[in-house]
Amino acid sequence: MGAGGPDEEDNNRWPPWLKPLLREHFFVQCKLHLDSHKTECNMFCLDCTNGALCSLCLVHHKDHRYIQIRRSSYHDVIRVSEIQKYLDISGIQTYVINSAKVVFINERPQPRPGKGVINTCEVCERSLVDSFRFCSLGCKFVGTSKNFQKKRRQMRMESGSEDSLSCSSSSSHGENNKVQSFSPSTPPPTSTPVNYRSAKRRKGIPHRAPMAGLIIEY
Ligand SMILES: [Zn+2]
Ligand SMILES: [Zn+2]
Ligand SMILES: [Zn+2]
């Protein structure tokens, strides 16, 4: 029971729990288990997708599929061994942290791309190693969506440059054109009977009543 929308095809391609997972905040105090100080929420149930769970919450999800979120320098990661059971993570850069292979859940802000970097994330342009296409689950989710692929192709065609702003400026151009063609270029005629009557009744009001623009249509 999704909200539906233009991305329906993309929704079918990805499991329903992925979007909630990408949006979730982990390593927060559990709302249900405030008393215990050891209850940091670092679990996520793929069947319930009901937010970050602490180890006490997890008791209610014993038979469900859940994954553990870990942290690497303040960013959320998932072990490859856990996530690849449920999701195709090909193309996503993996890292070895504490001798375990992990992937980042979301993109991390990067001040500027490193010098001489050849390969970057297709979505956020973080520099990547080898032939990886995405820096994180989130970027793969965005980068493989139909909308993103279309936008990317358009951007390349419109401006051969790497200027990412070209996308938004082109869309506002389209809007301007529409507005211009919509506004009437000639003053409204005064000969139509409706206009004549209303003009006569309201003495003192100039011919250009706000309604005059609509009368053109008849
Ligand atoms: Zn809890
Ligand atoms: Zn569950
Ligand atoms: Zn990225």
For 118-176, write each residue's pLDDT tens digit: 899 999 999 998 889 999 999 999 999 888 888 888 888 876 554 444 344 334 443 44
| Domain span holding position 80 | 8-144
Retrieve residue 119's tokens: 């390969």
Residue 208's SS3 state is: coil
Domain membership of residue 210 (yes or no) is no
C-alpha of residue 17 to centroid of ligand 2, in Å: 11
In this prediction, residue 11 carries a pLDDT of 58
Which ligand has its closest atom nearest to the C-alpha of 134? 3
- E strands present in 47-94: 52-53, 66-72, 75-79
Q: What percent of the chain has pLDDT over 70?
A: 64
Domain membership of residue 154 (yes or no) is no
Domain membership of residue 180 (yes or no) is no
C-alpha of residue 189 to centroid of ligand 2, in Å: 69
Confidence of residue 2 (pLDDT cuts 50, 70, 90): very low
Q: If you average pLDDT over every residue of the chain, what do you get?
A: 77
Domain membership of residue 196 (yes or no) is no
| C-alpha distances out from residue 162 to 12, 143, 159, 171, Å | 31, 17, 8, 17
In this prediction, residue 23 carries a pLDDT of 96
Q: Indicate the length of the chain as a whole number.
A: 218
Domain membership of residue 182 (yes or no) is no
Residue of 20 and 185 predicted with greater confidence: 20
Residue of 191 and 56 predicted with greater confidence: 56
C-alpha of residue 101 to centroid of ligand 1, in Å: 27
The pLDDT of residue 182 is above 80? no
C-alpha of residue 42 to centroid of ligand 2, in Å: 14
CB 131 within 8 A of CB 119: yes
| Domain count across the chain | 1
In this prediction, residue 136 carries a pLDDT of 97
Which ligand has its closest atom nearest to the C-alpha of 45? 2
The pLDDT of residue 218 is above 50? no
Q: Is the pTM of this model over 0.85?
A: no
In this prediction, residue 116 carries a pLDDT of 76
Reading phi first (left if > 0) and then psi (alpha if -120 to 50, else beta), residue 202 is in beta
Which ligand has its closest atom nearest to the C-alpha of 105? 3
Domain membership of residue 172 (yes or no) is no
Residue 46's SS3 state is: coil
Domain membership of residue 115 (yes or no) is yes
C-alpha of residue 43 to centroid of ligand 2, in Å: 10
CA–CA separation, 150 and 137 (whole Å): 20
Residue 109's SS3 state is: coil
Domain membership of residue 2 (yes or no) is no
In this prediction, residue 93 carries a pLDDT of 96
In this prediction, residue 54 carries a pLDDT of 94
In this prediction, residue 176 carries a pLDDT of 42
In this structure, what is the dihedral angle of CA atoms 43, 94, 8, 47, given to the nearest 10 degrees?
-20
C-alpha of residue 53 to centroid of ligand 1, in Å: 5
C-alpha of residue 49 to centroid of ligand 2, in Å: 7
Which ligand has its closest atom nearest to the C-alpha of 31? 1
Confidence of residue 41 (pLDDT cuts 50, 70, 90): very high
The pLDDT of residue 34 is above 80? yes
Closest CA to 212 of 203, 204, 199: 199
Query: What is the mean predicted confidence (pLDDT) over 68-80?
Result: 95
C-alpha of residue 144 to centroid of ligand 2, in Å: 28
